Amino acid sequence: MRDSSFRLVLGIESSCDETACAVLEDGRRLLASEVASQVDEHARFGGVVPEIASRQHLAALFPLLDRTLAKAGVSVGDLDAVAVTRAPGLIGALLVGVSAAKALAYALDLPLIGVNHLEGHLMAARLLEPPPEFPVLGLVVSGGHTALYLIERPGEARLLGNTRDDAAGEAFDKVAKLLNLGYPGGVAIQQTAENGDPRAIAFPRPMLDSRQLDFSFSGLKTAVRQHVSGRTLAPGELADLCASFQEAAVDTLVAKSLQALRRTGLRRWLIAGGVAANRRLREKAQAAAKRNGATLYQLPLALCSDNAAMIAAAGWQRLVDGARDGLTLNAQASEDVF
Give residue 267's pLDDT band: very low, low, confident or very high (50, 70, 90): very high
d(C-alpha 281, C-alpha 275), whole Å: 8
CA atoms of 51 and 324, how far apart (whole Å) = 30
Most confidently modeled range among 56-60, 150-154, 180-184: 56-60
Residue 230 and residue 172: Cα distance in Å, rounded? Answer: 21
pLDDT averaged over the chain? 95
Name the residue type at position 41: E
- Across 103-255, the runs of DSSP E, i.e. the strands, are 112-116, 136-141, 146-153, 156-162
What's the rounded mean pLDDT across residues 186-196? 96
Is residue 262 packed enough to be buried (19+ CB in 10 Å), middle (13-18) or exposed (0-12)? exposed
pLDDT at 232 over 90: no
Does the bond joining 88 to the residue before it have cis omega, within 30 degrees of 0? Answer: yes
pLDDT of 106 above 90: yes
Judge whether 8-124+304-320 and 133-298 match in fold. yes
Q: Where are the domains of the chain?
A: 8-124+304-320, 133-298
Q: 64-103: per-residue pLDDT in tens?
A: 999 999 999 999 999 999 999 999 999 999 999 999 999 9
Q: Is 5 left (phi over 0), alpha (psi -120 to 50) or beta?
A: alpha
**Residue 242, pLDDT above cutoff 60:** yes
pLDDT in tens, 269-316: 999 999 999 999 999 999 999 999 999 999 999 999 999 999 999 999
Task: Render pLDDT for 113-125 as a digit per residue (tens, 0 to 9).
Answer: 999 999 999 999 9
Q: Is the peptide bond before 132 cis (omega within 30 degrees of 0)?
A: no
Residues 6+ apart with CB under 8 A from 332: 86, 87, 88, 91, 94
Tens digit of each residue's pLDDT (9 = 90 or more) over 130-166: 999 999 999 999 988 999 999 999 888 999 999 999 9
- pLDDT of 2 reads 53
Do residues 104 and 132 lie in contact, with contact meaning Cβ atoms separated by under 8 Å? no
Distance of alpha carbon 231 from the chain centroid: 34
Nearest CA among 106, 122, 97 for reference residue 12: 97
Model pLDDT, residue 78:
97
Distance of alpha carbon 15 from alpha carbon 333, whole angstroms: 9
What does the chain come to in residues? Answer: 338
Strand order in the sheet with 136-141: 156-162, 146-153, 136-141, 268-272, 295-298
How far is the C-alpha of 140 from the C-alpha of 95, rounded, in Å?
A: 23
Sign of CA dihedral 98, 117, 119, 286: positive
Contact (CB, 8 A) for 156 and 333: no
Looking at CATH, the fold of the domain delimited by 133-298 is given as: Nucleotidyltransferase; domain 5 (3.30.420)
User: CATH second-level architecture of 8-124+304-320?
Assistant: 2-Layer Sandwich (3.30)
Query: Which amino acid is located at 225 in the chain?
Result: R
Model confidence, pTM: 0.94
Q: What's the Rg (C-alpha) of the chain?
A: 20
Q: pLDDT tens, 195-204? A: 999 999 999 9
